[in-house]
Amino acid sequence: SQKIEQNSEALNIQEGKTATLTCNYTNYSPAYLQWYRQDPGRGPVFLLLIRENEKEKRKERLKVTFDTTLKQSLFHITASQPADSATYLCALDLSGGSYIPTFGRGTSLIVHP
Amino acid sequence: GAGVSQTPSNKVTEKGKYVELRCDPISGHTALYWYRQSLGQGPEFLIYFQGTGAADDSGLPNDRFFAVRPEGSVSTLKIQRTERGDSAMYLCASSPGLAGEETQYFGPGTRLLVL
């Protein structure tokens, strides 16, 4: 069956360090992968999208990598701040550019001052 | 509008009652999605509209759930004979609906509690 895996345990890091979150998937051939941020009681907010033919994408302090061989995406936040504390969700299409992304359960990031 | 809006923000109802949840997408967005999210889980797809028609309703859990988008803008998710297991956050998202424009813009959600 198709599956998306994100660490269920919260990631705790110190302010200023780089946070790295992982999204693994099985039995998918996604055309793209997205990362969203979600704060408690709020809707997800889009951060970055990376396509299958892209290895890496950056936006300010954020960096996403996409390895279609390993079936893995890594999401990095450099120079992390307490305001970065939130749940980060990865989402990908089932195959071939579907308009319906499937979401992982998300990983909670806690940045300590 | 400035963003996706959803009403009500919270809804408490009794088991067996009927509820309607409303979503106002971003103006001009042709694609509209409904998701359900339980605590500690990611959003679970329910239904996707492209314009007025439901392009994919494969995520609706059973026939108690129904959604409409009669004019291709506002959408209403309707739940009949609510059950306690329907309690969750219901999220709506919209997107331009064009190839290469897969970003989804989410609303704040409606938190539904069935007693």
Taking only the tens place, the pLDDT of each residue in B21-60 is 999 999 999 999 999 999 999 999 999 999 999 889 999 9
Average pLDDT over chain B reads 94
Residue B45: list chain A partners with CB under 8 A. 100, 102
A6-31 per-residue burial string, b: 16 or more CB within 10 A, e: under 16: beeeebebeeeeebebebbbeebebb
For residue B107, pLDDT beyond 70: yes
Which residues, in sequence order, are CB contacts of B2 under 8 Å at separation 6+? Answer: none
Residue B55: list chain A partners with CB under 8 A. 99
3-class secondary-structure state, position B85: helix
A10 in reach of chain B (CB within 8 A)? no
Q: How confident is the model at residue A98 (pLDDT cuts 50, 70, 90)?
A: low
- With CB atoms and an 8 Å threshold, state whether B97 touches A99: yes
Instruction: For residue A65, give Cα distances in angstroms to A20, A81, A96, B20, B61.
Output: 11, 21, 19, 40, 34
Edge-to-edge strand list for the sheet holding B75-79:
B5-7, B19-24, B75-79, B65-68
Mean pLDDT along residues B100-106: 85
Angle (CA) A101-A103-A105 rounded to 5° is 180
Residue of A87, A100, A107 best to disrupt the B interface, most CBs of B under 10 A: A100
Both tokens of B62, joined, read 């059973």
Residue of A99, A102, A108 best to disrupt the B interface, most CBs of B under 10 A: A99
User: For A31-85, what is each residue's pLDDT tens digit?
Assistant: 889 999 999 999 999 999 999 899 999 999 999 999 989 999 999 999 999 999 9
For residue A95, pLDDT beyond 70: no
DSSP count for chain B of H helices, then E strands:
0, 11
- N-term to C-term CA, chain A: 41
- With CB atoms and an 8 Å threshold, state whether A44 touches B40: no
3-class secondary-structure state, position A84: helix
Q: What is the pLDDT of residue B1?
A: 52
Q: What is the pLDDT of residue A96?
A: 57
Mean pLDDT along residues B70-74: 94
Best CA proximity match to B90, nearest among B31, B9, B12, B2:
B9
Rounded Cα distance, B51 and B78, in Å: 18
- With CB atoms and an 8 Å threshold, state whether B109 touches A103: no
Best CA proximity match to B66, nearest among B92, B89, B46:
B46
